[in-house]
């Protein structure tokens, strides 16, 4: 019998903090061990009275090693050349407005995370809709 349910739908919400350095960004979601997740929707709302700037990134924790032909290698967070993969960078959202941060779905592998931050001191609220699927 599996310890992790095969498919689980989740919603995560987070108020984004101001930061200008991605490695101090807010970790919004991390895929658990033994789980592959699909981000179905990512919506951010600006509930402040001025334009806010949002950054939204995929963070790879563990490296992906190349296949037999040397393709598809990806660096992990401990590699000095590693950088987050930004899906949205310095995206302005007017006051009392909202935006979708994904145009499709995003697969998050075990221990990878979604990070986001604001470059202003106003308030941004992020909502993620997630499908978690147990790995074999």
Element at 115 (helix H, strand E): strand 113-118
Say what the pLDDT of residue 125 is.
94
List of residues 6+ apart from 104 with CB closer than 8 A: none
pLDDT in tens, the chain (136 residues): 456 678 999 999 999 877 655 545 688 999 999 899 999 999 999 998 899 999 999 988 876 677 677 676 677 777 766 778 899 999 999 999 999 999 999 999 988 999 998 887 778 999 999 999 998 7
Is 69 a domain residue? Answer: no
Say what the pLDDT of residue 39 is.
97
List of residues 6+ apart from 16 with CB closer than 8 A: 26, 44, 54, 116, 117, 118, 123, 124, 125, 126
Say what the pLDDT of residue 78 is.
72
Short-list 91, 118, 117, CA closest to 102: 91
pTM for the structure as a whole = 0.81
Is 67 a domain residue? Answer: no
Q: Domain containing 20 — which CATH number?
A: 2.60.120.1330
The residue range of the domain holding 125 is: 7-62+74-134
Short-list 106, 114, 113, CA closest to 131: 106
Say what the pLDDT of residue 4 is.
67
Say how many domains are in the chain.
1
Is 68 a domain residue? Answer: no
């Amino acid at each position: 019998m599996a310890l992790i349910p095969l498919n689980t739908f989740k919603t995560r919400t987070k108020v984004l903090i101001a930061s200008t350095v991605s490695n101090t960004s807010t970790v919004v979601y991390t895929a658990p061990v033994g789980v592959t997740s699909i981000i179905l929707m990512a919506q951010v709302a600006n509930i402040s009275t001025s334009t806010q700037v949002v950054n939204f990134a995929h963070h790879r924790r563990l490296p992906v090693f190349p296949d037999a032909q040397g393709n598809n290698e990806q660096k992990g967070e401990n590699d000095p050349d590693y950088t987050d993969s930004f899906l949205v960078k310095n995206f302005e959202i007017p006051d009392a407005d909202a935006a979708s941060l994904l145009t499709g779905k995003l697969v998050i592998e075990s221990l990878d995370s979604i990070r986001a931050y604001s470059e202003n001191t106003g308030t941004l609220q992020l909502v993620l809709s997630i499908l978690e699927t147990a790995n074999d």
